[in-house]
Amino acid sequence: MRFRSSKINEFRLWGLLLTMGGMGLMIVGLAGVVFNWGQVGKVIAGIFMVIGMLGMLGSVGVYFWAGMLSTSAVSLECPECGKATKMLGKTDRCMFCKTVLTFDPKYAPPSEAASEPAGK
């Protein structure tokens, strides 16, 4: 499985990265005005403000999408840590302990009990 945490948390991570990136771009663009680069500085600030705003709007979209997915996710109790977590799709990971969760036995990871010899 390519996800290292739950799918919902991965979407939230991308939303956070877009938020931080958008804010960072707006702050960098502000240097054109703060350091008084004249007319070119104002143009640079405007361009970076627009790009940063698009990043921030993208993060709003990602957070909205993650919230909508979260409302339709199946809630279950993790067999490892016992905490309530949400599962999207056929396989997912626990939000807390990262245990692989699935309802389909063919996607289940091999269990330790099945791989031990019968005499032990």
* Residue 21 placed within a domain: yes
- Cβ atoms within 10 Å of 101's Cβ, excluding its own: 22
The pLDDT assigned to 43 comes to 93
Kindly give the confidence (pLDDT) of every residue in the chain, 120 residues in length, as a single tens digit, with 9 standing for 90 and above.
455 778 888 899 999 999 999 999 999 999 888 888 889 999 999 999 999 999 999 999 999 999 998 888 888 898 888 899 988 888 888 888 888 888 877 777 776 544 444 444
The pLDDT assigned to 111 comes to 65
The pLDDT assigned to 18 comes to 95
The pLDDT assigned to 119 comes to 46
- Cβ atoms within 10 Å of 9's Cβ, excluding its own: 17
* Residue 120 placed within a domain: no
- Range of 93's domain? 7-115
* Residue 67 placed within a domain: yes
CB–CB of 73/88 below 8 Å? yes
* Residue 42 placed within a domain: yes
For residue 76, report the phi and psi dihedrals to the nearest 5 degrees: -150, 170
Cα separation, 38 vs 40, whole angstroms: 6
Q: Report how many domains make up the chain.
A: 1
**CA torsion angle for 88, 91, 95, 99 (degrees, to 10)?**
170
* Residue 73 placed within a domain: yes
* Residue 2 placed within a domain: no
